[in-house]
Amino acid sequence: MSSVKLSTISTAFGLREAIKDQQKMGWTNFVLGRWTPLWQKVQQHYLDHIKSKRSSKRWASAIIEKHLLTIWDVWQFRCTIVHGPGGVKERNLNKDIDQDIINQFGSTSENDLMIDDQKLLRDHTLADLQQKTIEEKRQWLRSIRNAIRSKDLDDAADDQQPEEELGQTSILQFFLPLP
């Protein structure tokens, strides 16, 4: 029974023609708000049939606007999921930085650092570092890597010091009276 009513509606108001015309224009155009003018005519036939004083032009404008706002909301939701705080990219970045911290924390000992820089290991636990923000994690990684580089440079400078410099006397000895 309902199929009879639907069949009657689709032919009486021109719904089939609107669908066919939209098919020619393309359904992508429909999604983008470019509808065939026949949709407005179908609505006007329906409004005339129910003796409504509403405007089919207003209906078409309102429904297209609502449709575009819905598409916009879906787009913003998708962008938030991918790019927003806690989104896919941020979670992947956080995971990569956590792995860098695990590797750095596991491969660095206090002997690899100068005394002043050893606090970078003593003052933090792995769990503590993983709870920090991405920027705080990056800062810790930069600090520990710079501290290791500083120690390496200091050790290299000690190794390259000539033998005669190692046995040099202090400048204070120049002020002692001569024997």
pLDDT-wise least confident of 30-44, 117-131, 144-158: 144-158
Residue 176 carries which DSSP code?
A: S
Give the model confidence (pLDDT) of 8-56 as tens digits: 666 778 899 999 999 999 999 988 889 999 999 999 999 999 999 999 9
- The long-range contacts involving 88-96, CB below 8 angstroms and separated by at least 24 positions, are 90/134, 93/134, 94/134, 94/137
Alpha-carbon distance of 31 to 41, in angstroms, equals 19
- Of 24, 46, 45, which Cα lies nearest the Cα of 36? 24
